[in-house]
Structure 1
């Protein structure tokens, strides 16, 4: 997801997905989540992606996981590392969550490679 860069003529993913329906949520997503939280220097974007993917796997949130798997790859994680995270979490967040996540990852990696 592109952040709150107002210089870009292209709308962010949040604005494109829900800006016409929930403009304030799109604005907060851009300005607070991606414009502030993701830009904090205390953690690298790679580390933030690893944490976010792990949380989404644990909470069984495949819709958001798709986006964040792509972001994680863009932020320097490898497909092998992401598969390992999901495998590891099978024992901490539940087998069904991991199976949903690995299926989501397989589909997302395939669509990215296509």
Structure 2
């Protein structure tokens, strides 16, 4: 019997292994791989949604994931600026602080 691979991005797998499985198998194993949108487009949509809904816990992961999927630092900054007018100034301001930390950690000085 082979051991199941470790969760892709589920830091909660030790507490909620079923939720981790859904995250790995359904979300990242199926939804993110559907042919209708590129991973880059899915990342921009996810980042925008997380900013607009003030989902600060998930935003750092998805900013880093966006880089892996080809989104640039400038595009992420433009997304935040655009959302200031549609999702509110406080959400954009918070996103800038989170992005700053992520940019420092990933050294994306483009």
CA contact under 8 A between 2:50 and 2:59: conserved in structure 1? Answer: yes
Deviation at residue 12 of structure 1 after TM alignment: 2.4
Check 1:36–1:103 CA distance in 2 against 1; reply closer, same or farther (3 A cut). same
Q: TM-score scaled to structure 2, two decimals?
A: 0.90
- What are the within-5 Å matches in structure 2 for residues 12-91 of structure 1? 12-14=8-10, 17-91=11-85
Give the 4+ runs in structure 1 shifted more than 4 A: 6-11
For structure 1, the 5+ residue unaligned runs are 1-5
User: Which residue number corresponds to residue 110 of structure 1?
Assistant: 104
Structure 2 unaligned residues grouped into runs of 5+: none
Please, what TM-score do these two structures have when normalized by structure 1?
0.87
Please list the CA deviations of residues 74-112 of structure 1 after superposition, one character each: whole Å capped at 9, or x if unmatched: 100100110000000000000000000011000111011
Q: Tell me the distance in 2 between the aligned counterparts of 1:19 and 1:32.
A: 15
